A = this chain, B = another copy of it.
């Protein structure tokens, strides 16, 4: 019995343990080899700010799938490196709006290129159609877990 159980769980193992870890490590390695001194977690925050600057911490947490405590500390570290600044919102002084600094700006082009490079390395010999299936399935996995009750 114990040998036959948990077949579907192997998917979790594959998703979580292998591909995700491998891609994350490769992206971090590509950053490091290019002399980019930020973590991929920090980059995920910058990435959303390059798309839309001045987001609140909570909104950044939502977009990067982090709780607010993790978001606080990531932004602490980004602030230490002078890549972002917190600005208290005038409308609601509970809210910190997070803005990119001039130091962060030159990182966009190079990190996008390194992210593209990482994706090209990761997705060799994988078709557009396959990628679409994976994205679609993983989106539905997420929706299955989010839409019921809190994760």
Binding site for B on A (CB under 8 A): 2, 5-6, 8-27, 29, 44, 47, 50, 64-65, 108-109, 112, 115-116, 118-126, 130-131, 133-135, 137-142, 144-146, 148, 151
Contacts and interface: CB of A to CB of B under 8 A. Distances in A.
A109 B121 CA distance: 39
For the complex formed by this chain, how many copies does it contain in all?
2
Determine chain A's interface SS by DSSP, over half rule: helix
B138 A15 contact: yes
Contact of A141 (B9, B22, B116): B22
23 contacts: A2-B50, A2-B109, A8-B120, A9-B112, A9-B116, A9-B119, A13-B44, A14-B134, A14-B135, A14-B139, A15-B20, A17-B65, A19-B142, A22-B65, A22-B146, A29-B151, A122-B141, A122-B145, A124-B144, A126-B140, A130-B137, A131-B137, A134-B134
Contact of A144 (B9, B21, B125, B146): B125
Nearest to A139: B14
In the A-B complex, list the 10 residue pairs whose CB atoms are closest, starting with the nearest.
A19-B138, A8-B119, A18-B142, A22-B145, A25-B151, A19-B141, A9-B115, A17-B65, A21-B65, A133-B133
Contacts of A64: 17
B11 A119 contact: yes
A108 B5 CA distance: 11
Contacts of A122: 12, 141, 144-145
